[in-house]
Amino acid sequence: MSTTEAPAPAGDRQVPTTVDVVVVGAGFSGMYLLHKLRGMGLSAVVFEAGTDVGGTWYWNRYPGARVDVESLAYSYSFDPDMEQRFEWQERYPTQPEILAYARHVADRFDLRKDIVFRTRITAAHYDEAERTWTVRTEHEDAVTTRFLVMATGCLSSSKLPEIPGLDSFKGETFHTAHWPHEGVDFTGKRVGLIGTGSSGVQSIPVIAEQADDLTVFQRTPAYSLPARNRKLTVDEIAGMKAGYRDYRQAQKESGFGVPTAIPTKSVLEVSDSERNAAFEQAWESGSLVNLLTTYTDLTVNQEANDKAKDWVHSKIKSIVTDPRTAQDLCPEYPIGTKRPCLDSGYYETYNRDDVHLVNLQREPLIEVTERGIRTAAREYEFDAIVYATGFDAMTGSLTNVDIRGRDGTSLKETWSAGPRTYLGIGSAGFPNLFMITGPGSPSVLSNMVVSIEQHVDWVCDAVAHLRSQGLTTIEATQEAQDAWVDHVNQVAGFTLYPKANSWYMGANVPGKPRVFMPYAGGVGEYRKKCDEVAKNGYDGFALTA
Ligand code: NA7
């Protein structure tokens, strides 16, 4: 696999042996945590596998990578002065622009001096007698800490297809989540790309422009809307900045961390022309949330969802000229139940003579060969293969670390039938271990920055509470956790989410338990619940002196 992640030079890292808080990950969560913890007078160290800050936006450098939330909304709210000063360029910023923002934040708060880069955590074990965690790294560092915060991100443990021969291919291979920092030139090359989630959908049009020939291997089609991306105007930026405080409040109270009009009608009660006009407007707006919130029932009622699904199918068929390719690109699962994508010219790309779609449902992948990829139908020859095959989402970055709580209990084993958390923040048996945007919280169903700030604030308030009360540990109770897991499942059961084989359900990783992992109750309602828990003396958590 081509990547420029150099192995860590052992000598250039300053690693403390004892701190108040160890944070794992220097993405948006880890950076804000470090800033807040310092402000509380606590000592903290952040461990980060990459060579700089940015998390998701550090790793995912594939061509065409962009966020699917608008820039002025996908940014920290905790520093109004920074909010006013930073100049966003595009409606949906590119990966380099977001990474530049993350670096700006790191510079502004001088964060890097407490971040140990090029260092993965391998284990974290709780010592019940001392009530501390000992965190170990790949370089044999050992740090003792009172609190451990896993700010490891929901989509950071990348995965490859589970087929034989991955190492046998003689050409170049790339994974979208480990893209070489200097970029890749596909000019004159025959490229094979596996995966049509967001990374595939965003990179396919850009790679197609460059490559001699591109073949896309699709297991499940994506629903994708045109992003209608553009440069932001001076007036737009000024208008947003003038109303930022009200906007931030609205984000916090919204369903997805992005304020939208609240729908009032069922799609089933309107005329065909009214419905088509509303969907057309959402499609033209370039906003995922607009489409899913056009009517009250699109995410909860199959018949209602079918209306939106059929409408998008007709759109796809109006763009893609080859009828068989167009049909293959039409998803059958309910729209919105796998993460929909925002694209720039995705469907149009399939009208090029040098782009081909292979439907893996008709001819499944068999193996990677020396020369390319073999499906059940034939062998395809390539100069380069791109894996846009996603992640072991939400739990992978937690269970990949050997986390052991009280009595040596392993987090991985405890979660073998699916993640079990209280509020997606803590897990019974693991005192003083916090997760940022963990399973059981809205996380990936929301604007991540909004959810990250909420969790970081909540965790820091909890730590401040313990300190002010002379308490040492906080741990989710089994009863509160069981009730929360039941609630998360119950809310998911009211929706159509469980109907799709999505990474929300763990369905993309063979053997992973099929459980709907994020909390579908909405950002605003969830925040109220977390605030209430804190106000009631951390109800559902056991606090000990
Ligand atoms: P995703 O959304 O998980 O997409 C991965 C794609 O790779 C998806 O189409 C998968 O098909 C496909 N895939 C994964 N494993 C295989 C195998 N073994 N064979 C064939 N195809 C496979 O990851 P992305 O990186 O695109 O996006 C992640 C998130 O980033 C996205 O949701 C946004 O939130 C931003 P499947 O659908 O599982 O059948």
Domain boundary assignment for the chain: 18-157+393-544, 172-236+252-387
Q: What is the pLDDT of residue 436?
A: 98
Span 368-391, mean pLDDT?
98
Given a contact cutoff of 8 angstroms between Cβ atoms, the answer to whether 247 and 259 are in contact is yes
Q: How far is the CA of 76 from the centre of ligand 1 (A)?
A: 28
Ligand 1 mutation pick, 342, 365, 505, 508, max ligand atoms within 8 A of CB: 508
Q: How far is the CA of 155 from the centre of ligand 1 (A)?
A: 11
For ligand 1, atom 31, the nearest C-alpha belongs to 198
Q: What is the pLDDT of residue 288?
A: 78
Q: How far is the CA of 205 from the centre of ligand 1 (A)?
A: 17
Residue 51's alpha-carbon distances to 6, 43, 47, 120, 473, in angstroms, are 9, 22, 11, 11, 33
Span 120-147, mean pLDDT?
97
pLDDT at 9 over 80: no
- Taking the CB of residue 438, how many other CB atoms lie within 10 A of it? 26
Q: What is the tens place of the pLDDT at every residue in 66-90?
A: 999 998 899 999 999 999 999 999 9
For ligand 1, atom 25, the nearest C-alpha belongs to 390
Which residue pairs, CB below 8 angstroms and at least 24 apart, start in 317-326?
319/347, 319/348, 319/351, 320/347, 320/348, 320/350, 320/351, 321/351, 322/350, 322/351, 325/350, 325/357, 326/350
Q: How far is the CA of 386 from the centre of ligand 1 (A)?
A: 12
Q: Name the band, by pLDDT with cuts 50, 70 and 90, for residue 2.
A: low
Question: Degrees (nearest 5) of the Cα angle 154, 158, 160?
Answer: 145
Closest ligand 1 atom to 507 CA: 38
Ligand 1 mutation pick, 337, 375, 389, max ligand atoms within 8 A of CB: 389
Q: Name the band, by pLDDT with cuts 50, 70 and 90, for residue 287.
A: confident
Closest ligand 1 atom to 390 CA: 23
Q: How far is the CA of 433 from the centre of ligand 1 (A)?
A: 30
Q: How far is the CA of 507 from the centre of ligand 1 (A)?
A: 10
Which residue pairs, CB below 8 angstroms and at least 24 apart, start in 105-109?
105/31, 105/53, 105/76, 106/26, 106/31, 106/52, 106/53, 108/79, 108/82, 109/31, 109/34, 109/35, 109/38
Element (H, E) at 105: helix 95-108
Ligand 1 mutation pick, 56, 198, 358, max ligand atoms within 8 A of CB: 198
Closest ligand 1 atom to 503 CA: 3
Q: What is the tens place of the pLDDT at every residue in 429-448?
A: 999 999 999 999 999 999 99
Residue 349's alpha-carbon distances to 203, 209, 332, in angstroms, are 11, 9, 21
**Cα 176 from Cα 393, distance rounded (Å):** 15
Q: How far is the CA of 435 from the centre of ligand 1 (A)?
A: 24
Q: How far is the CA of 390 from the centre of ligand 1 (A)?
A: 4
Residue with tokens 């459980």: 515
Q: How far is the CA of 465 from the centre of ligand 1 (A)?
A: 41
Closest ligand 1 atom to 220 CA: 39
Ligand 1 mutation pick, 60, 176, 199, max ligand atoms within 8 A of CB: 199
Q: How far is the CA of 183 from the centre of ligand 1 (A)?
A: 21
18-157+393-544 folds as FAD/NAD(P)-binding domain (3.50.50)
Q: How far is the CA of 227 from the centre of ligand 1 (A)?
A: 19
Total residue count of the chain as it appears in this document: 545
Span 209-235, mean pLDDT?
97
Q: What is the tens place of the pLDDT at every residue in 417-431?
A: 999 999 999 999 999
Q: How far is the CA of 165 from the centre of ligand 1 (A)?
A: 20
- 236, two tokens: 């737009």
Closest ligand 1 atom to 202 CA: 26
Please state, for a pLDDT cut of 90, what percent of the chain lies above it.
95
The model's pTM is 0.96
For ligand 1, atom 30, the nearest C-alpha belongs to 198
Average pLDDT, the chain: 96
Ligand 1 site, CB within 6 A = 155, 161-162, 176, 194-200, 219-220, 339, 360, 365, 388-390, 503, 508
Q: What is the pLDDT of residue 38?
A: 98
The amino acid occupying position 36 is K
